[in-house]
Amino acid sequence: MAEPILHNQDFYGWIQQQILLLQEGRLEELDRENLLEELADLGRSEKRALTSQMARLCCHLLKWHYQPARRSRSWVLTIRGARQEIQSLLRDNPSLKGQLAELFADGYARGRLLALDETGLGDSIIPEVASFTFEEAMEEAIAWESNP
């Protein structure tokens, strides 16, 4: 076998080497410790991506609700885009559906803080706990009173 490529010196090369070792069934030569760590990081990355999109969605839904005079097509597109990304992430990672309540609560908390920062509204204006469910947030027809 070629000289082992170190995980912390050439990540891409290391990945390619690990793939080759797996393809050839040379399991004893795998860098198991780093491979397990990278796999765990991949899972966390998918959760972070889903929570991030939920935060983006909640932020804009809150802005839509609390600042009706500032509604714009850009907000509509952001909301739709976040919904599409959430659907895609859940389609690609169905096991995350079992954690939706927790992930949505985290996403709402982050989205609330973003909305507070972006709107300048007082902390007491936007509730700390979502007044809508994940399912309601994902509904296309959520309160588009004056769709621009």
Q: Which of 7-11, 53-57, 103-107, 127-131 has the lowest mean pLDDT?
A: 7-11
The C-alpha R_g of the chain, in whole angstroms, comes to 21
- Taking a C-beta distance cutoff of 8 angstroms, is the pair 111, 54 a contact? yes
| 4 has pLDDT over 90 | no
Selection from 51, 32, 29 nearest residue 40 by Cα: 32
Taking residues 89-115, what's their average pLDDT?
Answer: 97
Q: What is the pLDDT of residue 142?
A: 57
**pLDDT, averaged across the chain:** 92
Domain annotation covers residue 147: no
Specify the DSSP class assigned to residue 31. -
Taking residues 26-33, what's their average pLDDT?
Answer: 95
CB atoms within 10 A of CB 51: 24
- At a CB cut-off of 8 Å and minimum separation 6, what does 22 contact? 30
Domain annotation covers residue 24: no
- Hey, is 3 helix, strand or coil? coil
Domain annotation covers residue 38: no
Residue 64, domain extent: 45-138
Domain annotation covers residue 145: no
| 85 has pLDDT over 90 | yes
Q: How sure is the predictor about 43, in pLDDT bands with cuts at 50, 70 and 90?
A: confident
How many structural domains are present in the chain?
1
